[in-house]
């Protein structure tokens, strides 16, 4: 039995956490005991999923103090982990140092986002990555081509690609038209409406307001366009107020955090993600697997999921550009269907859960062959 430790911040409904939970059975069947060190202020609203998946949970709230890292060191010494897999940007070099001091044979780190830092912060992270790579022998993993490119461009940091994947048992297309109509009834949406959808935290990075502005631009000519808004966050109230001021209240469903995200995707026709940047855009990938074409801004991370004109569109970063493509797909249902079919094929081909999990498994077992990694 090999002992594997994941290091996370707060355990939220997010890409890394979902994939860890999704892959638990696979790694357990390969002889791994799975553990997670949660360093958030609270364990997080997805922690119960880890417990249900038989992933042991240890909660040590992060502090910028020696005592915190000493407690982490004691925990690692006590548990004698074979592999430590770091999933944080915060303090990653210190976790790697503590793991090496505790005698952990294999230490890995996954970079989950594009960190285009500037000035002193960029220099600091450059040095931290150099120390991890050259002194602490910690290999970096990139979840997408965009992450790999940014790591190389900004930090000269080589990475191993292990692409994110989607749980195919949870995300798949509607099997019948009736299933789609039932999903629409759940969200109180007319059967003949054209439905947009997005999923993610309400933050400045996600720019959900641009979707509302695009709907307002089209209101006069396309008054049967509805929008399912999944997620919550700091800007949720502001976005609701904007929808009200734009006269969209009746056509925007603020669903918040939902357990069955696929249900919202089934009820929808088009997925929209106007983010400033993404590490990959996991919710966009999940929607693609469900057969939705994607309309995204041409930015890091999203360009890894969308092939322009093939399974969706990438546009310039303005609400008017979004509105133009929404209108195009609203009027051309044949094109919409074609893009949706391509979405399924491309996502299944490029983002294989089996390939990525097996690649990680080889990295975890590297210590057996070489005495370390």
pLDDT digits (tens, 9 = 90+) for 202-258: 999 999 999 999 999 998 888 899 999 999 989 999 999 999 999 999 999 999 988
Give the mean pLDDT of 330-354: 94
Residue 47 near residue 11 (C-beta atoms within 8 A): yes
Is 234 within the bounds of a domain? yes
Give the mean pLDDT of 260-288: 95
Report the domain count for the chain. Answer: 2
Residue 275 near residue 301 (C-beta atoms within 8 A): yes
pLDDT over 70, % of the chain: 98
pLDDT digits (tens, 9 = 90+) for 70-97: 999 999 999 999 999 999 999 999 999 9
Same domain, 246 and 339: yes
Task: Give the mean pLDDT of the chain.
Answer: 94
CATH number at residue 47: 3.40.50.2000
Residue 1 near residue 7 (C-beta atoms within 8 A): no
Give the mean pLDDT of 140-156: 97
- Considering only CA atoms, which of 22, 50, 290 is closest in space to residue 167? 22
State the residue range of the domain holding 226.
Answer: 177-350
- Considering only CA atoms, which of 179, 276, 183 is closest in space to residue 230? 183
Is 172 within the bounds of a domain? no
Same domain, 205 and 345: yes
Higher pLDDT residue, 281 or 75? Answer: 75
Give the mean pLDDT of 343-372: 84
Is 20 within the bounds of a domain? yes
Question: Residue 205 class from Cβ within 10 Å (0-12 exposed, 13-18 middle, 19+ buried)?
Answer: exposed
Same domain, 121 and 184: no
């Amino acid at each position: 039995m090999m002992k594997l430790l994941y290091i996370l911040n707060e355990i939220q409904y997010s890409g890394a956490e979902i994939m860890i939970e999704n892959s638990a059975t696979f790694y357990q069947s390969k002889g791994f005991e799975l553990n997670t060190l949660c360093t958030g202020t609270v364990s997080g609203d997805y922690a119960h999923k880890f417990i249900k998946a038989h992933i042991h949970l240890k909660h040590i709230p992060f502090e910028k103090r020696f005592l915190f890292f000493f407690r982490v060191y004691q925990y690692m010494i006590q548990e004698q982990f074979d592999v430590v897999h770091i999933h944080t940007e915060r303090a990653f070099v210190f976790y790697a140092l503590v793991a090496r001091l505790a005698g952990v044979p294999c230490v890995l780190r996954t970079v989950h986002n594009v960190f285009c830092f500037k000035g002193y912060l960029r220099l600091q992270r450059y040095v931290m990555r150099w120390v991890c790579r050259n002194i602490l022998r910690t290999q970096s993993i990139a979840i997408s081509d965009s992450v790999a490119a940014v790591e190389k461009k900004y930090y000269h940091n080589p990475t191993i690609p292990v692409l994110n994947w989607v749980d195919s048992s949870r995300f798949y297309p509607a099997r019948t038209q009736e299933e789609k109509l039932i999903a629409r009834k759940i969200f109180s949406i007319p059967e003949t409406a054209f439905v947009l959808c997005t999923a993610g935290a309400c933050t400045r990075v996600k720019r959900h307001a641009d979707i509302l502005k695009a709907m307002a631009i089209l209101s006069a000519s396309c008054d049967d366009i509805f929008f399912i808004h999944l997620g919550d966050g700091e800007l949720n109230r502001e976005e609701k107020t904007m929808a009200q001021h734009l006269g969209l209240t009746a056509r925007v469903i603020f669903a918040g955090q939902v357990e069955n995200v696929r249900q919202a995707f089934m009820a929808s026709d088009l997925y929209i993600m106007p983010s400033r940047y993404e590490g990959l855009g996991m919710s966009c990938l999940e929607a693609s697997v469900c057969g939705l074409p994607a309309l995204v801004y041409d930015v890091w991370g999203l360009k890894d999921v969308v092939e322009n004109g093939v399974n969706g569109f990438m546009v310039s970063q303005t609400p008017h550009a979004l509105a133009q493509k929404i209108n195009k797909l609203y009027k051309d249902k044949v094109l919409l269907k074609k893009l949706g079919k391509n979405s399924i094929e491309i996502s299944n081909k490029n983002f294989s859960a089996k390939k990525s999990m097996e690649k990680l498994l080889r990295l975890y077992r590297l210590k057996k062959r070489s005495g370390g990694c």
